[in-house]
Structure 1
């Protein structure tokens, strides 16, 4: 595994999934429009999370998220495409397009239990403080 001259690390999805990816940092976005005069108006809670490997070179995967109320519960969902330094390749080494790579990584992120873990990592759940590995 090495960084190319364009700064990307080329991996197959299987190679990526075999790396230990751990939580690096998460946060909640501020809403600068909120103040005393906005009391009672609807708002959106959103944030970001970043995960990284413990390998050299360092592989990173991050994404934005938001909370959406749905029929009596709250749904954590990914916003937009992930951010990463990985370009996925086919098994034969041929590169996938950047759009195809991000789409595939988004599907992977959506299938992972991150929405159960990010609240813990942000200290907003009873299990807060437990170190977590993404996969």
Structure 2
């Protein structure tokens, strides 16, 4: 008898593999909002927007630092959710704020397994993103790639 036993899958892997996700013919991965909320997303990439002003000014001008981030789930097919953010100074601290609708390969379903539609999916994904602690991971990535 072997002393080694297989370990149970980690919780975030269970949430993905139990759903038996598949990609529909239109490219969407369809799931309930509760299933999306139970999905563990991992940071894939973030970056700074590198827009150059159309003209250089000789006086001071307001600028903002903006960027993008993309998050994915474990497993195949992978759920992908990305959005744009802006760096703001709030209470003398730098904070990242989401400034765009999410881009995703997800279409959310209602309890009858019918599509809720793109607009409602986007609105619910915004709610989901705004509950995540994504800012610290993105800030750490930006600091590591672009330096302080």
Q: TM-score, normalised on structure 1?
A: 0.81
- 1:107 equivalent to 2:146? Answer no
Q: Which residue of 1 aligns with 2:103?
A: 83
Distance change >3 Å, CA 36–CA 80, structure 1 → 2 = closer
Which of 108, 111, 118 is 1:98 aligned to? 118
Any conservation in 1 of the 2:110–2:116 contact (CA below 8 Å)? Answer: yes
- Computing the radius of gyration from Cα coordinates, the structure with the larger value is 2
- 1:94 CA displacement: 1.7
Q: Which residue of 2 aligns with 1:131?
A: none
Distance 1:101 1:72 in 2: 35
Q: TM-score, normalised on structure 2?
A: 0.75
User: How many residues are treated as equivalent by the alignment?
Assistant: 125
For the aligned residues, what is the CA RMSD? 2.2
- 1:41 equivalent to 2:36? Answer no
- 1:18 equivalent to 2:38? Answer yes
Distance 1:100 1:36 in 2: 41
Distance 1:34 1:122 in 2: 25
Structure 2: state its 5+ residue gaps: 1-20
Distance change >3 Å, CA 28–CA 95, structure 1 → 2 = same
Distance change >3 Å, CA 89–CA 63, structure 1 → 2 = same
Any conservation in 1 of the 2:79–2:106 contact (CA below 8 Å)? Answer: yes
Which structure exhibits the higher relative contact order, with contacts defined as CA atoms closer than 8 Å and separated by 6 or more residues?
Answer: 1
Distance 2:30 2:77 in 1: 11
* Larger strand proportion of the pair: 1
Q: Which secondary structure does the structure 1 equivalent of 2:119 belong to?
A: helix
